[in-house]
Chain A
């Protein structure tokens, strides 16, 4: 299509080219716009590479060829990429391919040109701030359907299928358009975090209700400690608190109403109204850590580590991310969202689920190898190796050897997961499904936290974002039960 689209310009091409030439000669060509515009340029599609495919056996369900190549790209964030290098050694021992490994934070920058040119890698850990949005990749037919993977024999026990050994909900989290397109590998818990030591020193109890939660923050304020810190420059985090509170107050129905883009997801939802008003109360009573609204994630988390605030929202990667800044005796602890009166879910309910999406591009040269790589990730050996290197749990059931020592924060997160029955764990999907809606709600939340809009206005803005997303034709394919 690239050539067709450029032919559209032929009518006006000449005069424009002259204009550009002339101004270029003057040395006035718009240097700044250059970098953006040239980013648009693609090198045209080339989908006719040779595919690598070998014989299919029970032990090799996708028919990986021996030798060949395997191209792996890993997001080098909080988990590093050492774990993947270990995996690749194991993979090489089995199939002996030439492996190319790239650990990077610039997923989009490195991969977008490759997707456009029809020359993507075989496995991608598509994560981090610069991930390529999954909804966009899916709309462009770039994601391999992983149903095949779910149905394949489990690596440690061929009598089971891969789908049987994953933590419940893992497959659903990777659903886009009704089919699994990403293997979200890291079992993540989202919620609020605090220092066990600070609690002990001040004689505070774990707050289970919203009132007790506010009480601690008020107590802290008197002692010159901020109540709640949040990563203000990135409103993603405060949205975790807002959305968790909505799900716990209104139950799973309230959560699904948002994911399913219902007309009363926010406006007209009593749970949403109560929740956002409760969050606003923190702002209104001056319980935010001073300045937190403008700090980025590292700045605010570090201030929190230094004891300048009691609570901070985040996912369970927090401990790993803050390793260097956390004092020895900090005793990091996970707190499920405290309850508003009349909540439908109990205090133990948490947002838990699969994070860190691994994908196999549809046009990968060695698609079979990519799928096999994901399958082997679901083995006990690889899962344990990940837990050791990255200090985090995986979505493989009982996949981590008991000998692996977890740190206090991760340990408390694991305890919280164990305390929460499977049917009370919840997880939002709209973030993967509707990037633009997510962005709009985040912007509204930042305004609310800065006290520039009221809860009523927030509800209106969030609903507007939902209504806009509902008009997207692609939204018809995303429904959760």
Chain B
């Protein structure tokens, strides 16, 4: 009986595992191989160059700048997204007061949940085009249009949001935040709803304020979910390819102005496709993979806590 069960399970697993190996693992292995060559991406002619690509990578100022931008996003994006999502989730689920000690969200919370989730329904491509129109650098841009109407900015010098070295990266990061909060709000809401109401009621009866019940009750009980969100957001911060390449200036795959919004993925693509430095680009791919793996493991390890049973 037990034997039959295993065979049954294996039968189902074999196809996905083979597909995974062929389409995921094998390309990774190939990339690893290519990263030691001077492959140019348009034929199978190449020669082995050892670690040259890797040594070049770490003296390439543009790559280091791109890496730094990824690190900035890595610090900012998960923290901001999780904090906001947690706050909103708390407000729409248990933040409401009044009634006979009933635990519920603020007024109109059902509507807020839908509203917050809407951005996540849009595809990244639509998102990028939409926000390009919002950030557009002349009076036809939404923000500039409003600013100029209100007299906050000079029509002869509108703010070129995506062409300002100090703003561009944060403009894109804001879009990711706007996009991500809704999803994590729903995720955290689901987790919060599985927390028994009695716990909140008890906290409430003990006279806990909103802040106290959030930090003492909600957050500890949600820790597992927050941890998962953290890892996913960190991976998102390592990427950002689609938004940067569509929204920011520059000829191939954005990253401008003057590499001020460059991330590793855009620089990888430019080297891979435009400059014919595919071996070099593969080395970047391996570095990104390595960093992402380390990041995930480290995040899981340091955020490991004892599970609270309820």
A residues sitting closer than 8 Å to B (CB atoms) are: 1-2, 4-9, 13, 16-17, 19-21, 23-24, 26, 28-34, 36-42, 44-45, 108, 112, 115-116, 118, 129, 132-133, 135-137, 139-142, 232-236, 286, 289-295, 299, 303, 435-436, 439, 442-443, 446-447, 450, 452
B163 touches A (CB below 8 Å): yes
> Which residues of B lie under 8 Å from residue A40 when comparing CB positions?
27, 30-31, 34, 272, 278, 281-282, 285
Contact A33 B33 (CB under 8 A): no
Known A38-B27, A450-B160: A5·B37 in contact at CB below 8 Å: yes
Q: Is the CB of B281 within 8 A of A452?
A: no
Our pick among A26, A42, A232, A290 for the contact of B157 (Cβ within 8 Å) is A290
In the bound complex, do residue B276 and residue A293 qualify as a contact, i.e. CB atoms below 8 Å apart? no
Per the bound structure, the CA–CA distance linking A397 and B288 in Å amounts to 53
- Chain B 219-254, CB within 8 Å of chain A: the 1/0 string? 000000000000100011011010000000111100
Question: Quick check: A452 and B165 within 8 Å, CB to CB?
Answer: yes
CB distance from A357 to the nearest CB of B (A): 15
Contacts of A4 in B (CB 8 A): 48
Interface pair B235/A32, CB less than 8 Å apart: yes
A112 to B141 alpha-carbon distance, docked (Å): 37
Chain B residues within an 8 Å CB radius of A31: 235, 239
Please, how many angstroms separate the alpha-carbon atoms of A142 and B294 in the complex? Answer: 39
Q: Shortest beta-carbon distance, A374 to chain B, in Å?
A: 20
Q: Given A40-B27, A40-B30, A443-B256: A8 and B36 within 8 A (CB)?
A: yes
**The one of B30, B46, B156 that contacts A41, using a Cβ cutoff of 8 Å:** B30
Interface residues of B in 265-303 (CB under 8 A from A): 265, 268-270, 272-276, 278, 281-282, 285, 288-289, 292-293, 296-297, 300
Which residues of the other chain, B, contact A436 by a CB distance below 8 angstroms? 274-275
Minimum CB distance partner of B23 in chain A: A38
A37 and B41 in contact (CB under 8 A), knowing A23-B297, A30-B293, A291-B136?
Answer: no
Cα-based distance from A443 to B250 in the complex (angstroms): 7
**CB–CB A30/B289 < 8 A:** yes
Q: Is the CB of A290 within 8 A of B139?
A: yes
For B32, give the chain A residue with the smallest CB separation: A9
Closest A residue to B238 using CB positions: A32
Write the chain A residue with the least CB distance to B270.
A439
A34 in complex: contacting residue of B24, B30, B41, B155, CB < 8 Å: B24
Q: Is B53 an interface residue (CB 8 A)?
A: no
Q: Judge if B68 is at the interface, Cβ distance under 8 Å.
A: no
Complexed CA–CA distance, A45 and B43 (Å): 8
Looking at the assembled complex, report how far the CB atom of A217 sits from the nearest CB atom of chain B, in whole angstroms: 14
Residues of B within 8 Å of A5, CB to CB, are 33-34, 36-37, 39, 46, 48
- Of the candidates B161, B163, B285, the one whose C-beta lies within 8 Å of that of A37 is B285
Contacts A136-B41, A142-B43, A290-B139; A435 near B293 (Cβ below 8 A): no
Complex formed: what's the CA distance from A303 to B158 in Å? 15
Check B20 for interface membership: any CB of A closer than 8 A. Answer: yes
Check B69 for interface membership: any CB of A closer than 8 A.
Answer: no
What's the nearest-Cβ distance from chain A to residue B292, in Å?
4
Asked if B144 is an interface residue, CB under 8 A from chain A, the answer is yes
Extra A-B contacts (7), CB below 8 Å, given A8-B48, A20-B293:
A34-B24, A38-B24, A39-B272, A45-B43, A293-B137, A446-B250, A446-B256
Cα separation A136 to B139 with both chains bound (whole Å): 41
